[in-house]
Structure 1
């Protein structure tokens, strides 16, 4: 993954069911593969995980972006989580000497090989690449063609030579998220992408050893799954006519949902259709024609700020749907993890529910629901609450609270896909009247993992007046058990204020950020940088309970005041 953000339109075989070329680390890996071996190998790689923000860091060493030094224990634990492959992104730039040899520091090359060999020894398939070099120097290919191509060739010649006799469970990926500065447009981008991929293919094949038949992974421009980009990549596959090639793209979802902007707070029909269309396209263009596909990175772009940018239940529905659609279309997926998901020292998941949902989706469809929240107003007698279930072909077997199984027909009823929790049950569950989650109901289905529903006691949140600057305005907020979904910003004349001025709904975590422990909402400089001086802005805060609150901002120079209403 790079800092570049692009607006994307974007295996029936169970994990480990197919084994292809089990050659040992450092071994030759056996005879040449048959035409179907690439598909079998990529199927056996499902599911995969990225060792992100480590060997791909652009600092002095693998710890410079905050992750610990890689250990074999980490890779052993990744294997124990059910992963069959690991993508090891590698940035080479800062470890290379000058032209014309562009010699890679031998110590660094040895370290990369050590990590690769550990992963292979743990039984993992491994994918290595040329990573952030894409935006450091490879992007200059249109304006510095010969120099860039010479460096690219020198880089891959050294990598290929180092790993020429490694197991064929090691795959090479030509370049990460490639793009080209100063090109004349799509046609030239396609030509340059083809040149990079074919240059990579030719030099690796010429290097001999296991590289003569090693599986090589080729991306589209920007690793994009857009129709035009995958069609261009398909043309390269046709020209190379090599059965040991694999296509790769990245998928971070429908962009407004992925970053929580423009009011896309839910995994709705539009977001779902974007995913369906993308995976259908990949299957039609590649898989159906015998070319395997690796989704080399997937996740949500909002995770770059915080994994709470997307509401928990909506996040889980996205990952559930993605995993199942990938399985049905025989696409291998590799989770992008820059250290935010699997803790690399404790070897535990920071969000166990997310891992549980992902792992289930590798083999079966789990039931979900329209929401994972039931709000009960404090001090009032609750009404019964109805939630629409997404059964995914399953049936609801039980509803459990703690160690108690609720009684069907008494505590709850089910009619078709409608689950209703009785008013009496909700009153009992919220008897403490403490703000926030009072109980968690576990919906148990006939297959897959449970769906947890939080029963929440709340009152309408309360905002307070504040004074600050265009550097930051902190709005004291009593959330009263509620949570913020999104925020709108509109000038007095009705036009949209703040960044992304094509929508009134601002980007969660970028234009505004709630802090529930300190009780405030912060509007950072990124918001005020795009607010006119001497202006009045009306903010509308939308909360998950359905509450909406108005707040007025007045900017004069660098001074900002905020008032309720």
Structure 2
């Protein structure tokens, strides 16, 4: 039932607080939005393409206020003004007349103190909201939804307000040529249940080429492998988790997925065939299932992987990302509004991201990685083992660039991999330092509405590539300090 049918004036509706949802402009079709995903007092309230982020979730409350849960602040008129053109902002909820609103059945939202209506000063992205004499015009018409997370999203509250800490099932379904071939045990329901106690966002890296039963032109995916992947997805969804399925080691080394102009004619048919099959197979799944186009797409043998690629790579990457979106959308079912993650060259958050063209689609997010600085995250010289904050500017720079390019434009960002290897320190290990590093990144990214997924490959010793957090054989957390602190960031 629409909230407009429940609300008749400040303080007169049911005492129950309405569930958060979107407020969509009748003229523009765009959502009421906190500019640049801001949460501070004075943040401009505007209209922007609906994207399901927390910046676009609003809760009409029984005291007449309209709360933005992501910031904890209310829709407010600047300085309590009552004249035409007085602008809307976020501000600490204080119960004053500047924060009282009436959602009317006819579609207008009025401010009783001024007697004026909430008005969009235009219909383009970033048009600010103001109050103006009520005229019944389209720019003063609003649809106050029951829960919704972006245009046409049937999933209830936007998933990005529901997603919390994320974790990677690394070196399992992406291992070649089989799930257990890199030494990890087969994934079990008990394992997923354990993960779900700390994380509600699961990334399942998948390498597809060992599981093709035919080559061109069909590139048929083994139905037995799909059924096994489905089993693990089902366990996670049953635990209330959101699940990201990707295309992982199909690129890298000299595998088939090489994003270059010369290789694209060979790459596209296989890439499209796989994603069409995967999207069709999982078409009935709701928005708890997400797809991610690629992992760290790069030239043969990792050429310029960390430098962000070249113009030759960027054009190919943008073509493949658009193909991915087209393939999934055309597969039907829930794929019409499934959240999809596109990826820059190397999942690079600087030059790669700078040259990423995000497909024009209301349910597309961006996947990027950071292991910055690598000298802390690995054993590369000078092999830093402590994290005192003096190098925060390095991962922060990645987050800031992703915000500049994407988050501030209403495009969700997911750090689908980040982390640091645990190394010897002072007769013990530096797990506490790694916790400082990882929780800093997660906390900083959270300020911009970005999500994070820690890399875990089940290597739980000390030294290079020891990213393991969960011992998958005993189902015990080997690095509980790291896990508990990461889990707490989003709770």
Distance apart, 1:362 and its partner CA = 3.2
Contact 1:253 1:274 in 2 (8 A): yes
CA distance in 1, matches of 2:477, 2:237: 23
Is this contact kept in 2: 1:259–1:309, CA < 8 A?
A: no
Cα separation, 1, equivalents of 2:239 and 2:469: 21
Alpha-carbon contact 1:43-1:332 (below 8 Å) kept: no
Aligned residues of 2:424 and 2:430 also touching (Cα < 8 A): no
Shift of 1:115: 1.2
What is residue 216 of structure 1 aligned with on the other side?
340
Match of 1:160 among 253, 274, 279: 279
Q: In the alignment, does 2:467 pair up with 1:354?
A: no
What is the Cα deviation at residue 357 of structure 1? 2.6
Q: Does 1:80 align with 2:194?
A: no
Moved more, 246-255 or 190-199: 246-255
- Structure 2 counterparts to residues 34-433 of structure 1, below 5 A: 34-35=150-151, 40-59=158-177, 61-81=178-198, 83-96=199-212, 97-135=214-252, 136-139=255-258, 141-181=260-300, 186-226=310-350, 228-233=351-356, 236-237=357-358, 240-260=359-379, 261-262=381-382, 264-300=384-420, 302-303=421-422, 311-339=430-458, 340-363=468-491
User: Is contact 2:258-2:264 (8 Å) kept?
Assistant: no
More strand per residue = 1
Answer whether contact 1:89 1:131 (CA < 8 A) is retained.
yes
C-alpha separation in 2, matches of 1:323 and 1:140: 30
Indicate if the aligned counterparts of 1:253 and 1:271 stay in contact, CA closer than 8 A.
no
For 2:428 and 2:368, how far apart are their aligned partners in 1?
24
Following superposition, the deviation at residue 356 of structure 1 comes to 2.7
SS of residue paired to 1:66: coil
**Residue aligning to 1:527:** none
**Counterpart Cα distance in 1 of 2:321 and 2:277:** 17
Aligned CA distance change for structure 1 residues 52 and 117 (closer, same or farther; 3 Å): same
Aligned mates of 1:251, 1:271 — CA distance in 2: 14
What's the secondary structure of 2:243's corresponding residue?
strand
Matched position secondary structure for 2:476: coil
Give the SS at the match of 2:416: strand
CA distance in 1, matches of 2:192, 2:151: 30
In structure 2, how many angstroms separate the alpha carbons of the residues matched to 1:18 and 1:151? 38
After superposition, the Cα gap between the structure-2 partners of 1:36 and 1:330, relative to the gap in structure 1 and judged at 3 Å, is farther
Instruction: Tell me how far apart the structure 2 counterparts of residues 90 and 18 of structure 1 sit (CA, whole Å).
Output: 32
Equivalent-residue separation in structure 1 for 2:166 and 2:312 (angstroms): 33
The change in CA–CA distance for 1:251 and 1:213 in structure 2 (over 3 A counts) is: same
In the alignment, the residues of structure 1 paired with residue 342 and residue 484 of structure 2 have an alpha-carbon distance, to the nearest angstrom, of 31
- For structure 1, the 5+ residue unaligned runs are 1-10, 21-29, 364-565
Partner Cα distance (1:113, 1:19) in 2: 32
Cα distance per residue 1:364-394 (max 9 Å; x no partner): xxxxxxxxxxxxxxxxxxxxxxxxxxxxxxx
Contact 2:264–2:316 under 8 Å retained in 1? no
Tell me how far apart the structure 1 counterparts of residues 391 and 374 of structure 2 sit (CA, whole Å): 9
3-state SS of the aligned residue for 1:297? strand
Counterpart contact for 1:47–1:334, Cα < 8 Å: yes
Aligned in 2, Cα 1:36/1:207: closer, same or farther, shift over 3 Å? Answer: closer
1:32 Cα deviation after fit:
8.6
Contact (CA 8 Å) 1:18, 1:43: kept in 2 or not?
Answer: no
- Change in 2 beyond 3 A, CA 1:43/1:222: farther
2:259 and 2:325 map into 1 onto residues whose CA distance is 21
Give the Cα–Cα distance (whole angstroms) in 2 for the partners of residues 160 and 19 of structure 1: 28
Root-mean-square deviation over aligned CA pairs: 3.2
SS in 2 for 1:154: helix
3-state DSSP of counterpart to 2:270? helix
SS in 2 for 1:139: coil
Q: Deviations over 1:300-337 (max 9, x none)?
A: 1x45x889997344323212312221222221111111
- The CA deviation string for residues 25-61 of structure 1, in whole angstroms up to 9 with x for no partner, is xxxxx999524969931232221111111111112x2
Q: Which has the larger radius of gyration?
A: 1
Describe the SS at the equivalent of 1:34.
coil
Counterparts of 2:179 and 2:233 in 1: how far apart (Å)? 14
